[in-house]
Amino acid sequence: MLPQEIIRRKREGNELGEAEIAFMVRGLTDGSVTEGQVAAFAMAVFFRGMTLAERVALTRAMRDSGTVLRWDLPGPALDKHSSGGVGDNVSLMLAPMVAACGGYVPMISGRGLGHTGGTLDKLDSIPGYRTQPENDLFAAVVRSVGCAVIGQTADLAPADKRFYAIRDVTATVESIDLITASILSKKLAAGLGGLVLDVKCGNGAFMADFAAARGLAESLVSVSNGAGLPTRALVTDMNEPLAPAAGNAVEVAHAVDFLTGGHARPENRRIEAVTVELGAEMLVIGGLAPDLDAGRAAQREALASGRAAEIFGRMVAALGGPADFVERAGTHLGAAPHAVPILPVRAGRVAGIDTRSLGVAVIELGGGRTRASDPIDHAVGLTALAGLGAAVGPDAPLCLVHARSPGAAAAVAERIRGAYMLAEPGAPTPPPASPLLDRVDG
């Protein structure tokens, strides 16, 4: 086979065979296909698209480019994937909640991308926590604790790493076909028995349009099921931060608070709904609950009993973190020296939020990257974020900015004020909308 002929066939709109796709992925892995050829292939796919059979073949080939984990566990190996948002620390709570109900969660997560936070960056704020353990330790923690949240190792779907790096600089990242293969190749390589996807939609998501988010969810579900992994998806709202905190250490602190009773507070209504619903879906797909109502009840009991918090603490300790992290999170997490309230320009109710802008503010504080090599300040971020419908004014700030200096806080203050659209104080407040927009079954 010749790479240029495969590229030409896709450029002309032909359907590629499984062998042709496997040939291109092998070339991605061993370097025999040049960067220019990979870029041309990606652009041909971007404009011509792929059939379901092609997407399944691409996903499987990328999965098989490295190690495929095999699990021998007393219960199902389950995971979830989120397309990214602001204040989305669901993974930190969800993994131990599902483990508390009999599931095993080998969760392979990523770092921040664009304005969205990354689970690994959050976990790196825990002293000693190993986000890149050896496979033997990873497996041992999953078996003994029930969950382990780590990063992608070098031998899992290595073709995806090279392909993504080339797509990132050739304006082909947005292809749903290539996004689908990129996400699912890593999940398939993790050896899962079931997967639930959280596809975000709104001004804080990569896909602001509902139809586009629904299309991505349908592609992911159809390809994953076609590749042999039972999968469901939720489409959820990201027109405001999911949690009232955005950053790294501040989101870990929020997760500990959530697991130890904070889930019942009004400001956690949205994130509690999404986390419980994802967990219920995971329990049903893993055969651990007969239906979603039973799954929701089991997830809430895992929180109320303290079992999920206990498992989170055991996971942190098993992966090198402090043994008393849940009990003394505040003493272990780094704190920024300045917490500055950001007051609104006038009193009123929050009528709209530019959620992406809040994520950018975290990056400007040093809590994210503008280049892949940039270090992260894990202590900075935003807390007490006002949600839609909240009353704000001289005694009710938009948020607290955690910064290294008063000047750093002042530098993001106008961005934060500009991110909030206010209605008059007496304006009627619409009832809170559910963050659960749609469901896509396999």
Q: How far apart are CA 442 and CA 440, in angstroms?
A: 7
Q: How far apart are CA 244 and CA 57, in angstroms?
A: 41
Tell me phi and psi for residue 386, to 5 degrees: -70, 135
Express each pLDDT in 237-272 by its tens digit.
999 999 999 999 999 999 999 999 999 999 999 999
Looking at residue 135, what is its pLDDT?
85
Chain centroid to CA 11: how far?
Answer: 33
| Domains of the chain, first to last | 3-49 (1.20.970.10), 78-329 (3.40.1030.10), 335-423 (3.90.1170.30)
Asked if 399 contacts 342 with a C-beta cutoff of 8 angstroms, the reply is: yes
Q: What is the mean pLDDT of residues 147-170?
A: 85
Concatenating the DSSP letter of every residue in 122-135 gives HHTTSTT--SS--H
The enclosing H or E element of 436 equals strand 436-440
Residues serving a catalytic function are: 79-82, 119, 167, 182, 186-187
Looking at residue 405, what is its pLDDT?
96
Q: How far apart are CA 71 and CA 76, in angstroms?
A: 9
List the Cα angle 123/130/318 in 5-degree steps. 100
- Per DSSP, 369 falls in state -
Instruction: Output 399 or 367, whichever has higher pLDDT.
Output: 399
Computed on alpha carbons and rounded to an integer, the radius of gyration of the chain in Å comes to: 22
Express each pLDDT in 64-101 by its tens digit.
999 898 999 999 999 999 988 899 999 999 999 999 99
Looking at residue 109, what is its pLDDT?
83
Looking at residue 424, what is its pLDDT?
83
Q: What percent of the chain stands above pLDDT 90?
A: 79
Nearest Cα neighbor of 149 from 33, 320, 316 is: 316
Report the predicted TM-score, pTM, of the whole model to 2 decimal places.
Answer: 0.90
Q: Are strands 105-109 and 147-151 parallel, antiparallel or unpaired?
A: parallel
Average pLDDT, the chain: 93
Structure tokens at 73: 């566990």
Asked if 177 contacts 50 with a C-beta cutoff of 8 angstroms, the reply is: yes
Looking at residue 17, what is its pLDDT?
97
Express each pLDDT in 201-248 by its tens digit.
999 987 889 999 999 999 999 999 988 899 999 999 999 999 999 999
Express each pLDDT in 105-126 by its tens digit.
999 887 666 677 788 889 999 9
Express each pLDDT in 400-430 by its tens digit.
999 999 999 999 999 999 999 999 877 787 7
- Check whether 24 has a pLDDT greater than 80: yes
Nearest Cα neighbor of 184 from 57, 286, 76 is: 57
Tell me phi and psi for residue 104, to 5 degrees: -120, 125
Looking at residue 372, what is its pLDDT?
61
- Check whether 373 has a pLDDT greater than 70: no
Give the list of residues 6+ apart from residue 280 with CB closer than 8 angstroms, or none: 289, 292, 294, 295, 296, 298, 299
Q: Give the Cβ contact number of residue 318 at 10 Å.
A: 20
